[in-house]
Structure 1
Amino acid sequence: MSSTPVAPNVSQLTKLQIETVKRWHSEPIENTYSGFEAQVCQQHEHNFRLWHEEDTARSPSATDSEIANVKRAIDRLNQARNDMIEKLDDAITEMLCDAGIALAQSKPINTETPGSAIDRLSIMSLRLFHYGEQLEREDADAEHKRKVAERIALCEQQHGDLSNSLQELLDDIFAGRKQHKTYRQMKMYNDASLNPAIYKSK
Structure 2
Amino acid sequence: MEFSTLCNRIFWECILAYRKLGNVDAPLANPFAASTIEARLYEKNWIDNVQWDLEDIIRDPNIDPVRALAIKRRIDQSNQNRTDLVEMIDSYFLERFSGVVRRPDATLNTESPAWAVDRLSILSLKIYQMQQQAIDLTATPEHRASCQAKLDVLLEQRADLSQALDQLLQAYQNGEKVMKVYRQMKMYNDPALNPILQGKKN
| Normalised TM-score (structure 1) | 0.88
SS of the residue aligned with 1:147?
helix
Aligned counterpart, 1:33: 32
Q: Is the 8 A contact 2:87 2:114 kept in 1?
A: yes
Q: Is the 8 A contact 1:109 1:179 kept in 2?
A: yes
| Normalised TM-score (structure 2) | 0.88
How far apart are 1:155 and its partner, in Å? 0.3
1:83 aligns with 2:80: no
SS of the residue aligned with 1:198?
coil
How far apart are 1:196 and its partner, in Å? 2.1
Please give the alpha-carbon distance, in whole angstroms, between the structure 2 residues aligned to 1:104 and 1:118.
25
Please give the alpha-carbon distance, in whole angstroms, between the structure 1 residues aligned to 2:40 and 2:88.
8
Please give the alpha-carbon distance, in whole angstroms, between the structure 1 residues aligned to 2:102 and 2:74.
37
SS of the residue aligned with 1:25?
helix
Evaluate the alpha carbon distance shift between residue 177 and residue 81 of structure 1 in structure 2; reply closer, same or farther with a 3 A threshold: same
Between 87-96 and 26-35, the greater mean CA deviation after superposition? 26-35
Aligned counterpart, 2:119: 120
How far apart are 1:103 and its partner, in Å? 6.0
Aligned counterpart, 1:3: none
Q: Where does the alignment leave 5 or more consecutive residues of structure 2 unmatched?
A: none
Q: Where does the alignment leave 5 or more consecutive residues of structure 1 unmatched?
A: 1-6
Aligned counterpart, 2:155: 156
Evaluate the alpha carbon distance shift between residue 103 and residue 69 of structure 1 in structure 2; reply closer, same or farther with a 3 A threshold: farther
SS of the residue aligned with 1:157?
helix
Identical counterparts, % of pairs: 31
Q: Is the 8 A contact 1:106 1:179 kept in 2?
A: no
How far apart are 1:41 and its partner, in Å? 1.4
Deviation readout 1:86-130 (Å, 9 max, x if unpaired): 111111111223xx3246786211111100000000000011111
Aligned counterpart, 2:130: 131
Aligned counterpart, 2:18: 24
Please give the alpha-carbon distance, in whole angstroms, between the structure 1 residues aligned to 2:142 and 2:63.
29
Q: Is the 8 A contact 1:88 1:115 kept in 2?
A: yes
Please give the alpha-carbon distance, in whole angstroms, between the structure 2 residues aligned to 1:131 and 1:61.
25
Please give the alpha-carbon distance, in whole angstroms, between the structure 2 residues aligned to 1:140 and 1:146.
10
Higher RCO, 1 vs 2 (CA within 8 Å, ≥6 residues apart): 1
1:193 aligns with 2:192: yes
Q: Work out the number of aligned pairs and report it.
A: 194
AA aligned to 2:77 is R
Deviation readout 1:147-188 (Å, 9 max, x if unpaired): 111110000010000000000000111121111122211111
AA aligned to 2:40 is Q
How far apart are 1:60 and its partner, in Å? 2.1
Please give the alpha-carbon distance, in whole angstroms, between the structure 1 residues aligned to 2:102 and 2:66.
49
AA aligned to 1:181 is K
Alignment of 1:139-150 (within 5 A): 139-150=138-149
